[in-house]
Structure 1
Amino acid sequence: MTQATPLSTSGVLSPPKSVAIPVASQRLIAIDALRGFVMVIMLLDHVRETIFLHHQVSDPMAALTTDPALFFTRISSMLCAPVFVFLTGLSAWLYGQNHTKKEVSAFLIKRGAFLMLLELFVVGIAWSGNLIPHTFWLQVIWAIGLCMIVLSSLIYLPRKAQIALGLVIVCGHNLLDGIKLDASSPFFVPWAMLHQRDVIHLGGDLIAKTTYPILPWIGVMLLGYAMGPWYAKGSDAVKRQKNLIVLGIGLVIGFVLLRALNVYGDKPWFITDEPVRTVMSFLALTKYPPSLLFLMPTIGVGLILLSVFEKAGEGPGLKQLAILGGAPMFFYLLHLFVLKAFYLSGVAIWGLNQGAFFGVSVLWPVWVMWLVMIVPLYFPARWFSNLKKRRKDLAFLRYL
């Protein structure tokens, strides 16, 4: 079960957008447009989770046995979580443009706690359909919330220290992969939260699964925050766009070189008799927790897209993507409940036609359903985005 969610630049954790579109707010529109873009990609992955669940993709993905079409459909969502988490850090810095650090810290704590509760009692129901859960999936919403609470303290560090700490975490956490604790250890629960994907027994039949261990995500969010000065009011847009391109391309090239060496950053890749499976092996990266090699190309591509979107301004499609990025939590919850309603309707009409699951037997209907859903989901998201802009008096809207 995989998920991803954004935190909006135009709503939560964002300064008010400038009235003058051409330069000042173009940088913010680009951030929302990127968030909207990865939300659209996320929808494809969640459609796959809904009607192709009987062909579940393992993690790490099995390059030798997974159907290539399914593999590359699944891998298309790699961009989502790293970009969401990175932009959350950047948006926190932007929020600080008009607030004191104390106010930013307090908001991060409140927002983070809200997200953690949302994961437990709303998102979990949307995924499982069970009003009384027996398993608490501590997934991406939980991870973002907990990382925000950690970030609430790290924002007080000097910027150079933030960059250094973020790089140490992102680049060095794979050195900890060999540390495995069992439930008898007093450090098992915090370690399962930080780095070891595992099951925590809560008593009785209740369990929690740490699907998204947070240590590397803390580093990603911190680096996003530390990049904030590139987006300061009055900053040189041309220089920023160039820096984003250079850094983004550098991360992608660095990934290719480090991955080719096959010495660090993820599980080894291998050469097979089938070129496509060799490529699949090269690209089969670990997401839970995200390896260094998983984060390098995904964040790199995200930075390149930030530059491209800012240069494009309000070009065709970008305005619509920015609207989706302006109502991220609403879109996220809406699409989960719509998918669950569709799944339950399918079960009621056609039954469990794929063993223990309802679904389709081939992959192409997944893509068709994804394309069909984008427009109907866009309109309520646009309505809610406009509502947030109109009703500044309704403070609770900032959290959705």
Structure 2
Amino acid sequence: MATDATPLNSAGPLPQSPGTAVKRRIASIDIMRGLVIVLMLIDHVRERFYLHMQVSDPMDVNSTDPALFFTRLSAHICAPTFVFLTGLSAWLYAHPSSGNQRSASGFLFKRGLFLVLLEVTLVNFSWAGSFGTFWLQVIWVIGLSMIALSVLVMLPRWLIGAIGFAIVFGHNLLTPITFQPGEFGYSLWTILHDRGFLLDTEALRIKISYPLLPWIGVIALGYFAGPLYGRAVDAITRRKTLIGLGLGCLVLLLLLRGFNFYGETLPWETGATATQTVMSFLNFTKYPPSLDFLLLTLGIAFLLLAWFEPRKNAVLDALEVFGSAPMFFYLLHLYVLLILYQIVIALFGPNHGDLFGVDHIGWVWLISAALIIVMYFPTRAFSRFKHSTDLWWVKYF
């Protein structure tokens, strides 16, 4: 879901067909994308086959099984990482290793519109196999964030960073501001900050699941961080910087969350067990993402990016393939899950009310592992095609 970029380091064993020229990419970034895609798949399998054990936002620590809690928690890293890397990749697009700078504004705007179109068509259809309520989720918010960044890139880089910092660290101050349906400002505030129905009529229902404002801050910070992967920064300096950023985010999180000072509307409490206490401490708001949510997820992402950079093995090679064609994998896995669920319903029927569901979260992980293996091969084939073709439309996937 981010633009191609030419790296300083080797992109590793991206699949290559004889006689083709493959565009080289930054391996650690693709590995990072690949990891969060796999975690996203697990969460979406949960939403297909474990939906009868639905979770709230934030999660209810007292009623949520720890295995389900931590499965859901693992997926929290996905959206912040995708959005941050989209901003970072936009900087790389504008500053290729050839040294010939170019504007990213037009590409960001067109691709952003493309993602919004995908959200209201292919993505929405994939969830229910029909068009009912339009759920505007992560692809929608990445698209709108790219459109916002297409304007921000006209500003000096330091100002883009300042805006991103102000939004990420300051948007929790806006939590007390609310609007009721029908009030002036409700629609705009629903898009920007408060999750809710943009339109709720018999003819059409539109639900904003991912409020936009915090994600503009994240994509702006990603763009600001782009020079970390520029030609002027060596790998050792980049890793030290990423480790410092990651540890800094986590230390700040411990301070803010530890004293229930700022960054999350739901204070943590001591639970009946040590596990419940940890769950309460890590129970952050995702819609919109609180400051504590972003400090945790981006802090972990920075540390993983630093750890992935010099390492190569079969598992990381596979993650790199997934991360080199993220939009293809995203659409593929949604329709694989739709078809698989319809087959299961036809064969066994619903067993939890109107839903079919497995009886233990472990099955979610087993189903996900099988799907990862199956979907690796078409993703690898598309990766070969994508990175060896000059067809204009392929770059949007």
Normalised to the residue count of structure 1, the TM-score between the two structures is: 0.92
CA offset digits 1:361-395 (Å, max 9, x no partner) = 22211111111111111110000000012221x11
Alpha-carbon distance between aligned partners in 1 of 2:387 and 2:68, rounded to the nearest angstrom: 40
Q: CA deviation at 1:166?
A: 0.8
The 5 Å alignment of 1:12-31 reads 13-16=3-6, 28-31=26-29
Alpha-carbon distance between aligned partners in 2 of 1:20 and 1:273, rounded to the nearest angstrom: 50
Q: CA deviation at 1:15?
A: 2.6
| Partner AA of 2:395 in structure 1 | R
Q: CA deviation at 1:323?
A: 1.2
Alpha-carbon distance between aligned partners in 1 of 2:172 and 2:7, rounded to the nearest angstrom: 39
The answer (yes or no) to whether the contact 2:197–2:208 under 8 Å persists in 1 is yes
Please name the residue that 1:280 is paired with.
279
CA offset digits 1:233-262 (Å, max 9, x no partner) = 242211111000011011112111210011
Please name the residue that 1:397 is paired with.
394
Query: SS of the counterpart of 1:317?
Result: helix
Point out the more displaced range, 143-152 or 225-234: 225-234
The 5 Å alignment of 1:54-133 reads 54-98=52-96, 103-130=103-130, 133=131
Q: 1:324 to 1:177 in 2, by over 3 A?
A: same
Q: CA deviation at 1:101?
A: 7.5
Query: SS of the counterpart of 1:151?
Result: helix
The answer (yes or no) to whether the contact 1:27–1:310 under 8 Å persists in 2 is no
Q: CA deviation at 1:86?
A: 0.3
| 1:333 and 2:331 aligned | yes
Please name the residue that 1:384 is paired with.
382
The answer (yes or no) to whether the contact 2:10–2:26 under 8 Å persists in 1 is no
Q: CA deviation at 1:71?
A: 0.7
Please name the residue that 1:4 is paired with.
none
Alpha-carbon distance between aligned partners in 1 of 2:191 and 2:387, rounded to the nearest angstrom: 36
CA offset digits 1:211-243 (Å, max 9, x no partner) = 000100000000000001111124221111100
Give the alignment partner of residue 373 of structure 1, picking from 371, 374, 378: 371
Please name the residue that 2:301 is paired with.
302
Q: CA deviation at 1:164?
A: 1.3
Q: CA deviation at 1:311?
A: 2.0
Query: SS of the counterpart of 2:356?
Result: coil
Please name the residue that 2:139 is paired with.
141
Query: SS of the counterpart of 2:331?
Result: helix
Give the alignment partner of residue 41 of structure 1, picking from 39, 42, 46: 39
Q: CA deviation at 1:315?
A: 3.2
Q: 1:27 to 1:341 in 2, by over 3 A?
A: closer
The answer (yes or no) to whether the contact 1:96–1:104 under 8 Å persists in 2 is yes
| Partner AA of 1:77 in structure 2 | A
The answer (yes or no) to whether the contact 2:7–2:25 under 8 Å persists in 1 is no
Q: 1:169 to 1:368 in 2, by over 3 A?
A: same
Q: 1:200 to 1:16 in 2, by over 3 A?
A: same
Q: CA deviation at 1:100?
A: 7.8
Q: CA deviation at 1:21?
A: 5.7
Q: CA deviation at 1:70?
A: 0.8
Give the alignment partner of residue 343 of structure 2, picking from 342, 345, 351: 345
Give the alignment partner of residue 250 of structure 1, picking from 231, 234, 248: 248
State the superposition RMSD in angstroms: 1.8
Q: CA deviation at 1:122?
A: 0.5
The count of aligned residue pairs is 384
CA offset digits 1:60-91 (Å, max 9, x no partner) = 10011111111111111111111000000001
Point out the more displaced range, 240-249 or 156-165: 156-165
Alpha-carbon distance between aligned partners in 1 of 2:319 and 2:40, rounded to the nearest angstrom: 13
Please name the residue that 1:237 is paired with.
235
| Partner AA of 2:106 in structure 1 | A
Q: 1:275 to 1:184 in 2, by over 3 A?
A: same
The answer (yes or no) to whether the contact 1:241–1:311 under 8 Å persists in 2 is no
| Partner AA of 1:349 in structure 2 | L
The answer (yes or no) to whether the contact 1:270–1:278 under 8 Å persists in 2 is yes
Give the alignment partner of residue 224 of structure 1, picking from 204, 222, 225: 222
Q: CA deviation at 1:202?
A: 6.0
Q: 1:203 to 1:66 in 2, by over 3 A?
A: closer
Alpha-carbon distance between aligned partners in 2 of 1:27 and 1:331, rounded to the nearest angstrom: 18
The answer (yes or no) to whether the contact 1:197–1:213 under 8 Å persists in 2 is yes
CA offset digits 1:152-178 (Å, max 9, x no partner) = 011122222112111110011011011
| Partner AA of 2:298 in structure 1 | I
Q: 1:153 to 1:45 in 2, by over 3 A?
A: same
Alpha-carbon distance between aligned partners in 2 of 1:263 and 1:309, rounded to the nearest angstrom: 33
Alpha-carbon distance between aligned partners in 1 of 2:161 and 2:103, rounded to the nearest angstrom: 22
Q: 1:139 to 1:67 in 2, by over 3 A?
A: same
Please name the residue that 2:165 is paired with.
167
The answer (yes or no) to whether the contact 1:94–1:228 under 8 Å persists in 2 is yes
| Partner AA of 1:126 in structure 2 | S
Q: CA deviation at 1:27?
A: 7.9
Q: Which runs of 5+ in 1 are unaligned?
A: 1-6
Please name the residue that 1:3 is paired with.
none
Identity of aligned residues (%): 48
CA offset digits 1:124-164 (Å, max 9, x no partner) = 0111111xx22111100000000100000111222221121
The answer (yes or no) to whether the contact 1:35–1:84 under 8 Å persists in 2 is yes
Q: CA deviation at 1:26?
A: 9.2
Normalised to the residue count of structure 2, the TM-score between the two structures is: 0.93
Alpha-carbon distance between aligned partners in 1 of 2:364 and 2:240, rounded to the nearest angstrom: 37
Please name the residue that 1:311 is paired with.
310
Q: 1:101 to 1:145 in 2, by over 3 A?
A: farther
Query: SS of the counterpart of 1:212?
Result: coil
Alpha-carbon distance between aligned partners in 1 of 2:336 and 2:100, rounded to the nearest angstrom: 39
